[in-house]
Structure 1
Amino acid sequence: MATWHADPSVITWQFPAGVVKPGARPETATVRETLDETAVHCAVRQSLGSRLHPVTGVLCEYFLCEYLAGEATNGDAVENVDVMWVPRNSVTRFIDADRIFPPVLAALEEQT
């Protein structure tokens, strides 16, 4: 699933994302942000690692999640322009492969 984030200077596709609140677990934030942004319930299957984001410099943690329920809808019209399911083998049509964290790209390729 990709969310289409609006920024006054550019619109880009990205995976659901959010801030981990103090004292919270990143896995909890992952499930919460996915639900808040997309109305999709998911469960974390595994960690895919972390990195300092090359553009923002923010420490990002990545997780592979399992779909549980829900229909993808835009749950955060302030941050997102649109939300849609994207077949795994089509993600790079929306997000350049060189901008995707390599372990995420590998997980997408393994699942196809």
Structure 2
Amino acid sequence: MTQQTTDARPGIAAAIVVHEGRVLMVRRRVSEGQLSWQFPAGEVEPGEEGEAAAVRETQEETGLTVEAVKLLGERVHPKTGRLMSYTACQVLEGTAYVSDAEELAELAWVAHGEIPRYVPYGLYEPVQEYLDAILNSG
């Protein structure tokens, strides 16, 4: 009855945090294959919605308090095989810093034109469309 017959691991929720014309990206201490720079993200806990997990993971990893704006989409990630959800978030308060130094090496606020340098293999299409719209409008 489950959709995840090949992978029983919990899904991953990613937060797409845009603030002052830039998107927040983090670099993990341990890369998942090609995935070095990515959005704040982590496993969805039992009974937790993806949007709530994205907000919680952003707080845990970067110290930022954010709120979910809208779910941008879900997919099975082509590189990791994990079920991913992507949630657009806005900053409520705080200044981003590496709050979880065991997990993160650094973070960056990335301008629209710099995204391909951080993510050369491209972004999930609904995320790219959202960033194109929100970062080009400001």
TM-score for both structures, normalised by structure 2: 0.74
Change (3 A) 1:29 1:11: closer
Structure with the bigger percentage of helix: 1
- Structure 2: gaps spanning 5 or more residues: 1-23
Aligned partners of 1:73 and 1:84 also within 8 Å: no
Q: Supply the distance in 1 between the matched residues of 2:111 and 2:66 (Cα, whole angstroms).
A: 17
Residues 38-96 of structure 1 deviation map (CA, whole Å, 9 limit, x = unaligned): 11111111111100011110000011111111111001111110012112332222112
Do structure 1's residue 3 and structure 2's residue 23 form an aligned pair? Answer: no
Among candidates 84, 93, 102, match of residue 125 of structure 2: 102
SS of the residue 1:99 aligns to: coil
1:30-49 maps to which residues of 2 (within 5 A)?
A: 30-49=54-73
Aligned length: 111
Structure with the bigger percentage of strand: 2
**In the alignment, what sits opposite 1:24?**
48
Kindly report structure 1 stretches of 4+ aligned residues shifted beyond 3 Å. 8-11
**In the alignment, what sits opposite 1:12?**
36
The amino acid across from 1:7 in the alignment is: V
TM-score for both structures, normalised by structure 1: 0.90
Query: Please, which moves more after superposition, 85-94 or 34-43?
Result: 85-94
Aligned partners of 2:28 and 2:36 also within 8 Å: yes
Residues 13-47 of structure 1 deviation map (CA, whole Å, 9 limit, x = unaligned): 10001001011111111100001101111111111
Q: Supply the distance in 2 between the matched residues of 1:40 and 1:94 (Cα, whole angstroms).
A: 21
**Deviation, structure 1 residue 6:** 1.8
Identical pairs, percent: 35
The amino acid across from 1:42 in the alignment is: V
Do structure 1's residue 71 and structure 2's residue 91 form an aligned pair? Answer: no
